[in-house]
């Protein structure tokens, strides 16, 4: 367990549980290094065949997880999906990243939800760790890992039951801030069609994607006007084709009076 220099009673709680769990190891950072570097440190320190980094704000249900336990014991799959928004219609059982992409599954959106995935530790090698640290400002330090697993068509087990259920969602800064970072990560994908589809994955349909982009620009104009044009310029530098055209279409909203934007936000967000 990594204690990211918590200010509460985490050290005392860990000490109380230590006698009950012989394999419990607690490492306390001398300072809070942030959630994303903390994730990478957890991966670097893992010595098990498989690694699962869990969060503290999701529900876990182990009432029916025999398939997951069997897959770990067999050691035949690279990734195990335990539950995430976007995989509601995924059929349980063995598959691969390529097969999921061929069915237009929201692969990157699902697997970048950190607690969703148990992964073969050795696949998260030093090169990917280094790229992960470079992606820390883009919010998804593990994106490079899953991009690599798509490229190598890694084997996957979809758990028959959702073991992880996300509770809430924290967007740092704003929706447009988050969206820009997502696109930044997706821009590292070499295959143009895979890159395009990954950018669209943040919403269930392309129509919803365009509406979400529009609402995000409105919200940025209303609440963070000093950042709006910088975020739009950053997006313009990495979007391509129809996605760039969509950005050009909605960017002039940044010039609309705030009184009008309030009405638009209310109606488009329904």
- pLDDT score of 57 more than 90: no
Whether the predicted pLDDT of 167 surpasses 90: no
The C-alpha angle with vertex 136 and arms to 86 and 242, in degrees rounded to 5, equals 55
**Residue 158, helix vs strand vs coil:** strand
Q: Map residue 25 onto helix, strand or coil.
A: coil
pLDDT for 171 beyond 80? no
Q: Both tokens of residue 179?
A: 């969206």
Predicted local confidence at residue 168, as pLDDT: 67
Mean pLDDT of all residues in 94-117: 96
Question: In angstroms, rounded to a whole number, what is the distance separating the alpha carbons of residues 12 and 75?
Answer: 35
Specify whether the CB–CB gap between 151 and 201 falls below 8 A.
no
Q: What is the mean pLDDT of the chain?
A: 91
Structure tokens belonging to residue 48: 């098990």
**pLDDT, tens digit (0-9, with 9 covering 90-100), for 116-144:** 999 999 999 999 999 999 999 999 999 99
d(CA 41, CA 256): 45
């Amino acid at each position: 367990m990594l204690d990211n220099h918590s200010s509460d009673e985490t050290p005392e709680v860990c000490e109380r549980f230590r006698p009950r769990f012989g394999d419990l190891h607690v490492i306390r950072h001398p300072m809070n290094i942030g959630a994303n570097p903390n994730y990478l440190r957890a991966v670097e320190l893992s010595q098990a065949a498989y690694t699962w980094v869990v969060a503290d704000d999701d529900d876990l249900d182990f009432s029916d997880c025999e398939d997951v336990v069997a897959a770990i014991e067999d050691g035949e799959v690279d990734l195990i999906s335990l539950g995430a928004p976007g995989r509601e219609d995924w059929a349980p059982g063995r598959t691969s990243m390529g097969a999921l992409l061929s069915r237009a599954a929201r692969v990157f959106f699902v697997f970048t939800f950190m607690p969703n995935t148990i992964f073969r530790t050795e696949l998260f090698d030093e090169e990917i760790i280094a790229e992960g640290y470079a992606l820390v400002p883009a919010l998804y330090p593990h994106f490079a890992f899953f991009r690599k697993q798509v490229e190598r068509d890694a084997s996957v087990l979809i758990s028959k039951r959702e073991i992880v259920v996300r509770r809430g969602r924290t967007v740092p800064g704003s929706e447009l801030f988050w969206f820009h970072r997502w696109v930044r990560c997706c821009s590292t994908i070499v295959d143009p069609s895979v890159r395009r589809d990954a950018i669209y994955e943040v919403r269930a349909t392309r129509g919803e994607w365009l509406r979400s982009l529009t609402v995000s620009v409105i919200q940025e104009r209303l609440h963070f006007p000093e950042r709006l044009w910088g975020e739009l310029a950053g997006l313009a530098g990495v979007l391509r084709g129809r996605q760039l055209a969509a950005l050009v279409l909605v960017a002039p909203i940044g010039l609309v009076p705030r009184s009008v934007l309030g009405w638009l936000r209310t109606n488009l967000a329904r």
